[in-house]
Structure 1
Amino acid sequence: MSEVALLSAKALTPVAVFQTQNGVEDVVSKLERDVRAMELDPTTEKGRKHIKSVAYQVSRSKTALDEMGKLVKEEAMELVKRVDGERRVITARLDALRDEVRKPVDDYEAREKARVDGIRDQIAKIELLGQRLDGLDIETLKASVEEVDRLKSYDFQEFASRADLAVQQTANALKAAIIIAEKAEADRIEAERLAAIKAEEERLAAIEAQKIREAEIARAAAERARKDAEDKAERERKAASEALEREREEATRKEKEAADRIAKMRRDAEENARRFEAEKLAAEEEAKREQTAAIERERQRVADEQAAKVAEDKRRAENKAHRGKINREVLAALMELGLSEEQGKAIIGAILGGSVPHVTIGY
């Protein structure tokens, strides 16, 4: 029985064992059934020799099958190496052909990118002129306005609307900044004017005070004269006293008039200061509102661009998926006609590359 099993293994071919579905399973299962069907008796000398012989034959069968497997593997490795070499040739030459075909498009896209980048740089320069304007003097702001006027003459082509928006936003920002700067300059001039008014008020107050002091000196002098003239007649004394009283009343009247004039000038100055402060706050609020509106417009513009990009990416992904689905259906149809997967892919690639006249794939 062991000889039959061994001879059966020797009669097999590598193709029958390793390239036939369930070939190995069939051979091994048959050997197992044949060996396990033997009557083995380990209690006798002959039986033990027979068991050893069967085990040896099983081992030889294993070796024979393993040698077949090695042979099949070596042949398969040679085939793999040859196929890999051909694949490398296919990859190198068709990659070169692909690059050759794509070169005009790549060159055009590079020129187009350079053109678009140039336009975007000009727009960025315009937008930059409308940023970080706090603290700039009026001359610098006006120079920026002239620079915007110069930059807006650039040929923005399909980006003209975006450039117009950037010019408008930057011009508005510069206009608001100039208003704020002019208001600050006016405030400075007004502060100097108010300081001059205050200095004049203090000078006038000093003059009035001097007049009051002189009047008091005069009154004191008159009082001394009165005391010196007590020995004069009552009439002369009374006349002198009345004259002194009139002089005191006149000094009091002048002092009150001076105080009233100073109070009025102070009230007028305070009113002017309040009015200028209100105008300043109104201008600042208007500038803040314009800045907020500009920020919101820029945020909306960025959001719109991002939404457009997402929509374009989605459209490209869906188109790619659609083309892939159709290509897989074409490949399946070719394989049903008896072609291998690699052959089917090669045919599809040739059709898509325009190498097969009068044949296209409808997407």
Structure 2
Amino acid sequence: MSETTELSVIEIKPEQAPALYIPNGLDSYLEHIKASVSEAPDLSTDKGRKRVASLSASVSRSKTLIEKPGREYLKRLKEAVKPAEQEIKRFVDACDALRDEVRRPLTEWEAEQEMLAAEKQMQEWHTEALELNAAFDKELALQIEAAHATALLDNYEYDRDIAEKKAEAERQRIAHEEELKRQAAEQARIEAEATAQREREAALQREADLKAQAELAEANRIAAEKKAEQDRIDAANKAEADRLAAAQQAEREKQEAIEAEQLKAKQEADRIQREAKQKEDARLAEEQRIADEAAARAADVAHRKTIGTDIVNDLLANAKIDRVQAIQILTALKDGNIRHTTIHY
């Protein structure tokens, strides 16, 4: 498989990103990359060393092809967060304004009720003041009537004092009613301000809660990004460690295979040498046997010839026959044609 073919099959489209850049979502690509560099080139050759460098560069290129769209996807996620935050804030502000607008009639009604309650209280106080004033007027009328009874006997100065007392009483009644009205209005104002303050504090608290939630979400997002980055680094380190371990294992297995082949070749060479030696020994032994047999036959022939010569000579010396006759007698003896005779070689 060429490097171009290895890399061309790794392509991540934007619409695939959400389903891939999740925990263990890239395992299939990692397995594919591992499979594409699972060779064990011979480092003893220049071609093998160049092939190892090429495989390593292929892993880096494959990593870039997967990491780059992942970074772009992560960038899009980060960019998507800001509009979401702005939209959430706009939505919350709009809901708060809508809530206040929806509640405004109730708030106004509550303020009106408080005002009515204050006016009712003031009316009650006013009624109480009128009753007190009526009682006072009644008492005053009695006093006036009594004074009038005696006025005939008193002078003008006494009538003026009575009138002044009545005027003072009226001023006190009016002042008391005004004070009651003022107190009721002040109480209504204080309660309205307290209600408004509670609403403002509640709104500030909600805003603070939303801000805290947004900050927590941002912190969680940053923590998730850091964890994802650390996981990526850890995975890269582990992949590199696995690659080195695999390369070392492959080198050990290659060396073991070489040593096994060398041992097998040596054993085969020893076997061939032993068989060749055995064949050579057998050939030499056979040649020796043949030579020994030939020598034995030659020696036997020479021995038989010597004995035959001795017999022929003895016949010539002891019988009055010629050599031809002696040889004929020797031949008859050798062929066993003369009974009761045997030649002992």
- The normalised TM-score by structure 2 is 0.36
Structure number, greater radius of gyration: 2
Higher relative contact order, chain-length normalized (CA < 8 Å, sep 6+)? 2
Query: What TM-score do you get using the length of structure 1 for normalisation?
Result: 0.34
